[in-house]
A and B are shown apart, each in its own frame.
Chain A
Amino acid sequence: MTTLRVAIVDDHAMFRTGVRAEIDGPVDVVAEAEDVDSAVTVIAATQPDVVLLDVHMPGGGGLEVMRRLQARHPGTKFLALSVSDAAEDVIGIIRAGARGYVTKNISGPELLDAIGRVAAGDAVFSPRLAGFVLDAFAGTIEIAQVDEDLDRLTEREREVMRLIARGYAYKEVAKELFISIKTVETHVSSVLRKLQLSSRHELTRWANDRRLI
């Protein structure tokens, strides 16, 4: 397997240096950027596999970066890496198309694992994000970007999210529910999809586009 190519987008130089020091080697850090414009430029130029994306940045933040890049570079995956705890920020960036969200106090190995997962097409939910997601689907938090007609989670998906929120790793979730890790990944991905495609209508279109129904 080839080494993953990663870009780090964050307006704090010290944080970029720290992350680079922790992950460079196992993955290949091909680009760094400190604001929206430079991020769009370097990502378009270097075409990394995964972009570690800060949520709050000068000039529009992570949402703006994704908005400007997604149509042109559908192969690039975004992993939000934020210090923010606000549900609006977190859910907002996931709904805009990020494949996962981890907080900045994540350890190096955990971050590498998350990068690997996102690159493989999976979704990555930190316990905190899982909590926000459950809240959003339960309707107990008010997030402007979450629609009324958010698709409901199945009982199984809910169980998986609860276990992740309780701090279980994927393989522990699999063991707990007597299912395979692959199945856990499938559930997590479908939760992400339901979150990103808000209405039933969009979900149907998504399935149609992929010849699933």
Chain B
Amino acid sequence: MSPDPLRDVDGYRRAYRPADRRLVGGVSAGLAEHLGVPVLYVRLAFIVATWVQGIGVLAYLLLWRFLPLRRPDLSPGLESATRRGLRSRTRTGPTEIAQTIALGAVGIGVLLLIQATGRGIGGGLFAPLLVAVVGLAVIWRQFDDVAWERWMRQTRGWAFASRVAAGAALVALAGLYFLGKEGGWGAALNLASALVIALLGIGLILGPWISRLLGDLGEERRERVRSQERADVAAHLHDSVLQTLALLQKNAGDAATVATLARRQERELRAWLYGDDEQAGDSLVGALRAAAADVEDTHRVPVEVIAVGDAPLDPDALALARAAREAMINAAKHAKVDRIDVYAETDGHTADVFVRDRGVGFDLATIAGDRMGVRGSIVDRVERHGGLASIRSSPGEGTEVALSVTLRPRESPSTTATPEPPSTEEEP
């Protein structure tokens, strides 16, 4: 199951205003997505609420201000596909726009009807309130624009200074007003109302900025991480893929070099993309992969390493990896193959490694006696560590080297250091 896109980093489900499909502020669309109801119902609810003292409009404006805007969060690959026109964008359809306009018209009609019957907002207040609401909407709509966003986000410079100055001036004005009309309850009341008006003014000027600032922090952090990632990708591609491609162009005539370079680049890119970042010194599988890479580069034979489970690289596992490496080198040198398969399996108790080629093969009887490579560096090495090594080969069928050691239990790291029990029979 894919993660819920509405879920925040800290696990809470938050409502957002979607940036990519909104008619006015995206409040209805965002709420509909959050609540899991059709967007039409949400719009209807806002319009019905407007009939009650204009609550719908106020709620809409407040939500417009306080719901954070969310741009569609696309993975880089999908973004590029969108740019190339491979994906279709979700656009607000004409039906939906027409529907909303009709809904709005009906809403305003009913509102006017309520006004006409005299049970709405108090007579003289209605027109100014409507104007004020529209004015606020216009101001806030402005704040939604990117230019304003940038301007409002500046925390220093003349914009910030002028805003602070405006706030200070309003407070000072209120103080002067109080001093001018000193004394009495009426003055205190006047002061209070002036203060409230001043605070409201400051709030109107700074409020959107503060909420925007808070809302944008997360967005900005994400954007920064994303651009850093992009820079990392670009740097890596430059250091690896582009360099290899340049080398390939220079060596275009040499098929073997081209194949080696391509193979090495593929290996590096895979390790980078899919996080095979175990170091050669860390684990058995890491050591096997390093050995395979080495053999590939030196002998120009692809080595496919498949591993199930992994084990820490203790002396036994190291011997196993070295023996496997010797088997790979033998196969690459003598078997005349274009591919070597290495399979490693660890279940926590034993580690098995199989090195297989489908090359010319050889007759074990003729070779086992005088060749030190196989005996000394493969079979004996593994057997010294209490393991087993067997070689199966027949001319024309290829060769398989099977290696196996018993792993030491992990929770006793000092087994090698424990003193030997005193042996009685060696006493003189």
Contact = CB atoms under 8 A, between A and B. Distances in A.
Interface in A123-155: 127-128, 130-131, 134-135, 138, 140, 144
Contacts of A134: 308, 345
B308 A167 contact: no
B356 A58 contact: no
B347 A138 contact: yes
A127 B86 contact: no
A59 B82 CA distance: 9
Interface in A165-209: 165-168
Interface in B72-104: 77-78, 81, 86-88
A85 interface: yes
A131 B78 CA distance: 30
B81 A85 contact: no
A167 B356 contact: yes
Chain B interface main SS type: mixed
Contact of A11 (B86, B276, B400): B86
Contact of B304 (A11, A84, A127, A138): A127
Contacts of B81: 11, 35, 58-59
Given A86-B274, A166-B354, A166-B356, A58 B308 contact: no
B362 interface: no
B239 to A, nearest CB: 21
Given A127-B341, A167-B341, A167-B356, A135 B308 contact: yes
Contact of A84 (B274, B276, B343, B354): B274
Nearest to B358: A167
Interface in A89-127: 127
Interface in B234-276: 270, 273-274, 276
A162 interface: yes
Given A85-B274, A165-B343, A56 B87 contact: no
B197 to A, nearest CB: 55
Nearest to B81: A58
A11 B308 CA distance: 31
B341 A138 contact: no
Contacts of A162: 343, 345
A88 to B, nearest CB: 10
A157 interface: no
A55 to B, nearest CB: 12
A131 B341 contact: no
A140 B270 contact: no
Contacts of B87: 35, 58-59
B306 interface: yes
Contacts of A34: 86
B307 interface: yes
A111 B141 CA distance: 59
Contact of A167 (B270, B343, B345): B343
B77 A58 contact: yes
A11 B78 CA distance: 12
Contact of B309 (A84, A138, A166): A138
A195 to B, nearest CB: 15
Contacts of A11: 81, 86
Contacts of B310: 140
A86 B341 CA distance: 19
A131 B86 contact: no
A166 B339 CA distance: 12
Contacts of B356: 166-168
Interface string A36-78: 0100000000000000000010110000000000000000000
B265 to A, nearest CB: 13
Contact of B306 (A37, A86, A127): A127
Contacts of A130: 306
A127 B345 CA distance: 13
Contacts of A56: 77
B306 A85 contact: no
Nearest to B82: A58
A35 to B, nearest CB: 6
A166 B86 contact: no
Interface in B177-217: none
Contacts of B400: 166
Contacts of B345: 134, 162, 165
Nearest to A140: B309
Interface in B373-418: 400
Contacts of B306: 127-128, 130-131, 165-166
18 contacts: A35-B86, A58-B78, A58-B87, A59-B86, A86-B274, A127-B304, A128-B306, A131-B343, A134-B308, A138-B309, A140-B308, A140-B309, A144-B1, A165-B308, A165-B345, A166-B343, A166-B356, A167-B356
Interface of B: 1, 77-78, 81, 86-88, 270, 273-274, 276, 304, 306-310, 341, 343, 345, 347, 354, 356, 400
The 9 closest A-B pairs by CB, nearest first: A167-B341, A58-B81, A131-B306, A166-B343, A134-B308, A85-B274, A58-B86, A140-B309, A166-B354
Given A34-B86, A162-B345, A168-B356, 7 more contacts: A58-B77, A59-B81, A127-B343, A130-B306, A135-B309, A138-B309, A166-B354
